[in-house]
Structure 1
Amino acid sequence: MKRRTKIVMLGSALLLTAGAASAATASNAPRQQEAASDAPRRHEATSDAPRQREAAALTGTAKLYRSAGDDITFSFDAHLAAKDKADPMKATGTFRFSHYLNGSGARAEVEVDCLITGGKVAVVSGVITESDLPGAEGKRVGVTVHDLGRHDRLGYSWASTGRPGEGDEPPRCVSSAPFEKVKKGTGDFTVVPWQPEL
């Protein structure tokens, strides 16, 4: 008798649980249908067209190698937006460089006015906006980077035109060959190649 009572009670409990679950499911059904109908709209809002990669870029920081121990640093954050792919002179960003030896030297910050990249090589130019080098502010300079992993190389326009503020200014996106070596362990330049429609 006890066993039969337990079975009946267990059966009743299962029925009550099933009834509560089906009632909850029924009351949730409209909400679930509403959520399902909203799902495509939410998906459309969050998944726009695939994002285009920028047309070109030069980023990263490195120190140059000098046997005398000069502390020479170059940093780049230069970009050409996808929408400006046909005009490298619409590049934006900044780059900085500094050169110190035995406590003396100078630094400069440059606003980018042109960026052209090809494969792993980038040429960027800009106008110096801030510097403690006399006569340098307002002058254009150009830099070339060859992105070779741990063996990046670099060149700069003043190798042939004279130091910024004293020599000639190069045109936009003009620099020298990347003749300088990056100091071991410091090169992390990254070049995004430009792919113009030719």
Structure 2
Amino acid sequence: MRKHLAFAGFATALLMLAPPAVASADKPEPRVSGSMSGTLPKEFGPWAGEPVKFTIDAHGRPAGVKGTFKVFHDRIDGSKPVGDFEGKITCLAVAGEVAVATGVITKGYVNILDKPTEDVTGKKVSFTVHDNGRDDRIFWIWEFMGAPVNDCQGTAPAFKPARGDFTIRG
């Protein structure tokens, strides 16, 4: 037990003396880009069977993230879409094969169930993408649906679209 405590104390001292990690200029800039589309499964209740499409192009480090996103959610019957909006990415976090990108809608609207058409300009959104070769996944959080969205806040990427591909770097 004493050996373990002594080692833990030594390791802690080394960590305190080590210089802080600095982003390397030769590391690739964090990036997520691509688009995916598919049909919402039964777990989406009243929206099950409806087609959705997501396009994201974001890059940069925390101090200078740039990018855009576009979302289109149609209805099965082809009537007025459930949602059609786009915006700017404000935060990007990449860890291996997963990226979280949050942003603000710059223009667009939603038609949610029996509610009147709503302008969602200025509302926050979040996308979590898992780049897993041909088995990519995505999920999202919408502030306009009552969910709080904080910078680089994500969720488990549970939706597997039928078509498309995202690429994550950095």
| TM-score normalised according to structure 1 size | 0.60
Superposition deviation, residue 52 in structure 1: 5.3
C-alpha distance after superposition, 1:110-140 (max 9, x if no partner): 2010000111100000000010221411011
Q: Does the aligned pair in 1 maintain the 2:103–2:124 contact within 8 Å?
A: yes
Structure 2: distance between partners of 1:182 and 1:69: 12
Identify the residue that residue 117 of structure 1 maps to in structure 2.
94
Identify the residue that residue 165 of structure 1 maps to in structure 2.
144
Structure 2: distance between partners of 1:140 and 1:98: 16
Identify the residue that residue 66 of structure 1 maps to in structure 2.
40
Q: Does the aligned pair in 2 maintain the 1:131–1:137 contact within 8 Å?
A: yes
Q: Which has the higher helix share?
A: 1
Structure 2 spans left out of the alignment, 5+ residues: 1-24, 42-47, 111-117
C-alpha distance after superposition, 1:150-192 (max 9, x if no partner): 111011113xxxxx42414311111211011111xx2210001
CA RMSD for the aligned pairs?
1.9
**Structure possessing the higher radius of gyration over alpha carbons:** 1
Aligned length in residues: 130
Q: Percent identity?
A: 35
Q: Structure 1 residues 127, 146: closer, same or farther in 2, change over 3 A? A: same
Structure 2: distance between partners of 1:89 and 1:69: 40
Structure 1: distance between partners of 2:39 and 2:131: 16
**Secondary structure at the residue paired with 2:87?**
strand
Identify the residue that residue 147 of structure 1 maps to in structure 2.
131
1:94 is aligned to 2:78: no
Structure 1 ranges of 4+ moved more than 4 A: 51-54
| TM-score normalised according to structure 2 size | 0.69
Q: Structure 1 residues 136, 71: closer, same or farther in 2, change over 3 A? A: same
Q: Does the aligned pair in 2 maintain the 1:56–1:192 contact within 8 Å?
A: yes
